[in-house]
Amino acid sequence: MAGNSFGQLFRITTFGESHGGAVGVVVDGCPPGIEISQEEIQKELDRRKPGQSKITTPRKETDKIHILSGYFEGKTTGTPILLVAYNEDTRPQDYTEMMKSYRPSHADFTYDAKYGFRDWRGSGRASARETLARVAAAAIAKKYLKEKLGIEILSYVEQVGDIRTDMDFEKVTPEAIESNIIRCPDQSTAEKMIKLVEEVKADGDSIGGVIRGVIKNVPPGLGEPVFDKISADLGKGMLSINAVKGFELGSGFEGTKLRGSQHNDPFYTDENGRVRTKTNNAGGTIGGISSGETIHFRVAFKPVSTIGKEQDTVSREKEAVKLAASGRHDPCVLPRAVPIVDAMSALVVMDHYLRHKAQNG
């Protein structure tokens, strides 16, 4: 495998480049009979597309999705689904300097090292534009999980730079997340975040932060130990997103400061006879299997590596050069990454639900 596919039973294979003809995905293993419209998929893509606000890249792409197979009379057929969005606002001329030089902390150098050459137009396959395909495929998974199991998937910007909200993730709503351009449900903190991103953008720089992922109403028992734990696949899914440098589940690194007596989540039986835990430091998984509690995690995004400031680097000929990148880039990737985190959550849970169902009926 060449690393372009994800999942076992609900399997996606993405294709396309930033400034190529199109970006798309083949979805294989999707159950038949799921009622999904092109408009529902488009709604998810509109959350990810460029040009949304003053703090995102000004590139104008409609990201209009086309369903070309695996779909008939408004329903999935059970055969491979092909989803594609054609690139429209391409400007490869903006990247001619990057054809010769490596951007610091970008995949320019490593793609050259692996393949011997690279698509320098907007970084080609290394561009976050590839994530459009994931969001499109996950729109189908999200609907299935919501309607069949009542699973709710959401994520939000918890931190930008050193500005962070301590809002209880259990109380966050989709409406609150979408109420501002930074996608932080805490309005007063969101205003501070937006101001910081605007300052960074004006300085020709970029900044990173943290997205909190939340998956509610996951039934207990999902996960395939030992190597395909649901926690491990969530980690793999999140770390496959561009600019992600860290993943922590539940209490994460903060949990290392606690003793077992403080960190353990005590069991009890609720009024409906279900086994629950009084706390959720485990983050909704135990032994790599879902416990029935809310799955929650944090995903760390580095500052975008393509910036307008002049930087020291080297050319393909290994000569020292200066580079100030042109083109259209996000000063902070987090607002547009929120639906991508949602997407990877949906793809992982969907795949594990189908695997669990196949094994246990």
Query: Please, are residues 21 and 361 in contact by the beta-carbon 8 Å criterion?
Result: no
Percent pLDDT > 90 in the chain is 80
Q: For 313-340, what is the mean pLDDT?
A: 89
Label residue 58 by pLDDT band (50, 70, 90): low
User: Which contacts qualify for 228-233: CB closer than 8 Å, 24 or more apart?
Assistant: 228/8, 228/288, 229/285, 229/287, 229/288, 229/289, 230/285, 230/288, 230/289, 230/290, 230/295, 230/348, 230/349, 230/352, 231/283, 231/285, 231/288, 232/288, 233/348, 233/351, 233/352
Q: For 343-349, what is the mean pLDDT?
A: 98
Q: What pTM does this model have?
A: 0.95
Is residue 215 scored above 60 in pLDDT? yes
Q: What pLDDT is recorded for position 90?
A: 61
Q: Report the alpha-carbon distance of residue 217 to residue 54 in Å, rounded.
A: 35
CATH number of 5-360: 3.60.150.10
Strand 209-216 relative to strand 295-301, pairing: antiparallel
Q: What is the pLDDT of residues 106-132, one digit of tens each?
A: 899 999 999 998 888 778 788 899 999
Q: For 326-349, what is the mean pLDDT?
A: 92
Query: Please, are residues 190 and 180 in contact by the beta-carbon 8 Å criterion?
Result: yes
Q: What is the pLDDT of residues 240-263, one digit of tens each?
A: 999 999 999 999 999 999 999 999
How far is C-alpha 203 from the chain's CA centre? 27
Domain boundaries, given as residue ranges, for the chain: 5-360
Q: What pLDDT is recorded for position 308?
A: 86
Percent pLDDT > 70 in the chain is 95
Q: For 193-203, what is the mean pLDDT?
A: 96
